[in-house]
Amino acid sequence: MKHLLKLQDLSRREITEILDLADQLKYEKKNGIAHPHLAGKTLGMIFQKSSTRTRVSFEVGMYQLGGSALFLSPRDLQIGRGEPIQDTARVLSRYLDGIMIRTFEQAEVEALAEYGSIPIINGLTDYAHPCQVLADLMTIREYKGRTDGLKLCFVGDGNNMANSLIAGGILMGMEVAIACPKGYEPDTALMAWARENGKFTCTEDVISAARDADVLYTDVWASMGQEDEKAIREAAFQGYQINDDVMAVARADAMVMHCLPAHRDEEITAKVFEAHANEIFDEAENRLHAQKAVLVKLMK
């Protein structure tokens, strides 16, 4: 594994190795055992969109691993004035040991990897959010002890989260059911891959998708960069919500997950969110541990 661009680039074995290492690093951190695997190494972090979790967990993760992290905003970089990503990649490769990038186009992340000579980590694009789903899989293993045979239901937009959950869920032996309004389906090629490689469905019917689910997952109706579509999306997504009716058809011990930030009483009711706050904030914490495992795998 040279980069983390999207989950379908990884094998089940590679994902399992990351999750096992993440469990170990979490244990070591909780027990005061230092793990300076990346002493002297520097991660550059390019953010073209806002972030709370990704920014803080990557920066803190690098410090805990004995290295350092540089926050690079497009306002400061020449990228913001039009310097091509291909040139930026080749220059930054001479200074840094790895780059984490959050941006719009998946192609930009792929170009960084193609032209640079250091590991590139996708910290979210419009297409994928692999770091989040590694933390999600880690959390599912913590709560359920396994991923194989579990049913994961995602309710909402067929966005970056849906795409990465499909890839990660199918690779880890889960059944994946997506419920989304017509016109907001996940990536077509990825859905075809999922149908060939596992148990996958995509429907407009939330209740049928959620039936017997072990894990219920949702995300915002309008993602970063879609602020102009907010009103149209609010209308289109009415009913695409994790609420008591949805919980009633899922398994009695179903987990509820959300990548955050959450919009209460839009994609999830405040009641369901608070009832499952433990899972949701363990999931947020696990961003730190899962990403530290990715950093060690790629940069050590």
Query: Where does this chain bind ligand CP (CB under 6 A)?
Result: 51-54, 124, 132, 259-260
Give the shortest CB-49-to-ligand CP separation in angstroms. 7
Give the shortest CB-212-to-ligand CP separation in angstroms. 27
Active site residue 102: yes
**At which residue do the structure tokens 């009641």 appear?**
271
Q: Give the span between the Cα atoms of 202 and 109, in whole angstroms.
A: 27
Active site residue 131: no
Give the shortest CB-124-to-ligand NVA separation in angstroms. 6
Asked if residue 136 lies in contact with residue 147, where contact means CB atoms within 8 angstroms, the answer is no
Closest CA to 272 of 248, 261, 284, 256: 256
Among 8, 163, 223, 286, binds ligand NVA (CB under 6 A): 223
Out of ligand NVA, ligand CP, none, what residue 262 binds, judged by CB under 5 to 8 A for its kind, is: none
Site string for ligand NVA, 58-97 (x = CB under 6 A): ----------------------------------------
Report which DSSP code applies to 78.
G
Q: Which is nearer to ligand NVA, 124 or 213 (CB)?
A: 124
3-state secondary structure of 72: strand
β-sheet bridge partners, residue 178: 154, 202
| Subset of 254-273 contacting ligand NVA (CB under 6 A) | 259
Kindly name the residue from 37, 53, 258, 287 that is annotated as catalytic: 287
194 binds ligand NVA (CB under 6 A): no
Active site residue 287: yes
Asked if residue 240 lies in contact with residue 269, where contact means CB atoms within 8 angstroms, the answer is no
| Subset of 140-169 contacting ligand NVA (CB under 6 A) | 159-161
103 binds ligand NVA (CB under 6 A): no
3-state secondary structure of 218: strand
Number of H helices, E strands in the chain: 12, 9
Active site residue 219: yes
Q: Which is nearer to ligand CP, 259 or 294 (CB)?
A: 259
Report residue 185 CA to chain centroid gap.
18
Q: Give the span between the Cα atoms of 129 and 31, in whole angstroms.
A: 30
Q: Give the span between the Cα atoms of 20 and 28, in whole angstroms.
A: 12
Q: Give the span between the Cα atoms of 132 and 124, in whole angstroms.
A: 8
Give the pair of three-digit tokens for residue 4: 């983390």
Out of ligand CP, ligand NVA, none, what residue 208 binds, judged by CB under 5 to 8 A for its kind, is: none
Which residues does the annotation mark as catalytic? Answer: 102, 129, 132, 219, 259, 287
Q: What residues line the site for ligand NVA (CB under 6 A)?
A: 124, 159-161, 219-220, 223-224, 259
